[in-house]
Chain A
Amino acid sequence: MNAVSSFFHGIGDRFRALPRWAKIVLAIAAAVIVYLLPIINPPLITTTDSDFGAVLFLCALYALVAIGLNIVIGYAGLLDLGYIGFFAIGAFTVGILGSNHAKLPLLLCIPIAMVVTLVSGIVLGAPTLRVRGDYLAIVTLGFGEIVRLILVNADSLTGGSRGISNIPTPPDLDLFGIPHLVWDGFVAKVDLSNQTRFLQFGVTDSIPYYWLALTLVFIVLFLDWRMQNSRVGRAWEATREDEDAAELMGVPTFRFKLLAFATGAAIGGLSGALFATKQQFINPDNFTILYSVLFVAMVVVGGQGNRWGVVVAAALLTWAPEKFRFLADARFLLFGLALMALAIFRPQGLMPPRRSVRAKKAAEQEPDQLDVEGAARV
């Protein structure tokens, strides 16, 4: 039952035990491999039915979304079922400012999109974070749907159901070309005719967008790590575990919940902006409530509160349906079955954070037999 998490935690422990130089080398090697994935096109992993670069871009994009939502659900314990609303606001801010009503460059649009979503997170959160958990879930669900309906109906601003096209792309560098690998069985060949121009953002090649998204994932992961290990992260955890006790200990819980909500919203906005610039065309159909549900599923499958867990789960849940395209018709059915099986057999997610594993172990022991040393280590 715990084989999966002990496997991942085993990897984590081994990694931690290594000397510092080895850690750095390993981390860099892993990062390089991840960056080069679409170039290497590894057999068995690569998707045959759809463009592998585009699939990887979506994996990285949804990983970003999952990191943002993990702050809201995993750290602060607020069930947000309307996360797609922030994603949509981010995407449409870029669309409106970059194409529909002004021609601002993308690098200016993205920060504006983040600010707009941050503000909308505060505007939505300030009144609703005072209500109970279940209600918050349904209010956010309503919010996600309101955003979509406004996008459909506010024709003059958003283009309505026709959507927005010609969304600006990031500035090109175009330094050199990188040839792809092609595989004949398990033998690799370099395919010089098929090259990715290093940093030319266009419609034909998704790989530069993948690199951009991946870089943002790493940056946000780093900030996320710094934030969780700070006073803020501890305040979130205390609020999640027992709001009253946290309040008594002097944690301004409401303000920290709002902070989590707004931070999550801003990351959602960033991912939406990224989505918009990659697609170059968006319409409200890209932002249905189904995605909110999918995002929550990513966080829960990954193990709420574990940033690597949710990243892996997001990538897995995005990649699997593309890989198994031949099941295309039945994939939502299988997805539903998988969610049910997960809830029944592995409710803590694939990779629960270690702290919650330890807490569960401690809770299972009788209070009078509590392993004092173990408790002290916690």
Chain B
Amino acid sequence: MDLLLNHFWEFTITGLAFGAVYALIALGYTLVYGVLRLINFAHSEVFMWGSFAAVWVLTALGASKASGLGVVGFLVIGFAAAMVTSALVALGLEFVAYRPLRKRNSPPLIALISAIGASFVLSEAMGLRDKPFKWFGLDTDLASYVGRPREASPLPLNIDTVRLFRVFDYRVSNIDLIVLGSAIVMMVILDQFVKRSRLGRGIRAVAQDPEAAALMGVNRDRVIRLTFVIGGAMAGAAAMMYLLKIGVTRYNAGFLLGVKAFTAAVLGGIGNLRGALLGGFVLGVAESYGSAIFGSNWKDVVAFTLLVVILLFRPTGLLGESLGKARA
């Protein structure tokens, strides 16, 4: 307890930074759930693929030698690579794992099974990525990309931690600032997009009443594709932030993070965009405080206990469901 009180702002800001990562991934869950009433279990792997895309592109460009302004450029490239790849993976996922089911009107549980299958495939494909290159004898040439596929791959970017300014007793670092700042920018853009643009209105319409939306001329399939792309891009951004904060990624890095992000989505009220953001930040901060009070081993227990407790007292989450209508 003393630890928390003495370093209150440090834990708060670290919690907020992780919360931003959770929140951005949670957006993907909540968007897809709002439109399709489906837990996109494979979303965590979309995130993981984005993180590897960033690592690969930056390795290929030799980002580890950069310094000064070059680092900023590589940061932007890393974000772009992760977001584009994640969006493409999410789109492919929708095409392969979900669209055939939708055509057949499968019950939700079956979609969940398909999602679990897709999640295994995506994560194991990353874990086995050296195999296809071995057949062509390329695995030694490409060792920095596909070598040791089950081990952690580091982000090849050297960013010196610079303490910029103080918030009470904690000196905020440049990484905290990048993570939180870019997260907030993404969130504002997304929020405005869904609220104001034509496509965003389509998303809300389908979430509210798919049939009425179709009658009004909304192309449901296109809206669904769009939600997967947006969710994927957000997961890609989260992947880059995760790399900045943690420094490495693995083929199975997605799973726990995905469960937590889903927890964040449920916490805020699944289907509700602002709820997902709030849920992400609340979860991140609660986890951070929890690890300060009970020790870092208990961090995840705190997160899940919080979820159970909130669902007991507010079964629709903190903000309730509002992307579509709340389902009874």
Chain A positions within 8 Å of B, measured between CB atoms, are 73, 79, 127-128, 130-135, 137-139, 141-143, 145-146, 149-150, 152-153, 289, 293, 296-297, 300, 304, 329-330, 332-333, 335-344, 347
Contact = CB atoms under 8 A, between A and B. Distances in A.
Given A142-B304, A297-B116, A336-B124, A343 B311 contact: no
B57 interface: no
Interface in B65-114: 96-97, 100-101, 104, 106-114
Chain B, interface SS category: helix
B113 to A, nearest CB: 5
A149 B119 contact: no
Nearest to B33: A134
Contacts of A300: 109-110, 113
Given A339-B113, A342-B113, A347-B101, A128 B312 contact: yes
A301 B112 CA distance: 13
B269 to A, nearest CB: 11
B131 interface: yes
Contacts of B100: 344
B301 A340 contact: no
Nearest to A244: B328
Chain A, interface SS category: helix
Contact of B97 (A293, A340, A347): A340
B106 A340 contact: no
B270 A134 contact: yes
B301 A130 contact: no
Contacts of A341: 117
Interface stretch (B46-54, B152-160, B259-267): B259-267
Interface in B191-241: none
B74 to A, nearest CB: 32
A297 B128 CA distance: 23
Contact of B121 (A139, A152, A333): A333
B307 A138 contact: yes
Given A138-B263, A138-B266, A347-B101, A146 B301 contact: yes
Nearest to A345: B100
Contact of B114 (A133, A335, A343): A343
A344 to B, nearest CB: 5
Given A336-B119, A347-B106, A145 B311 contact: no
Contacts of B124: 330, 332-333, 336
Contact of A340 (B33, B109, B118, B270): B118
Chain A CB within 10 Å, residue with most, of B111, B114, B262: B114
A358 B286 CA distance: 50
Contacts of A131: 311-312, 315
B60 interface: no
A156 to B, nearest CB: 14
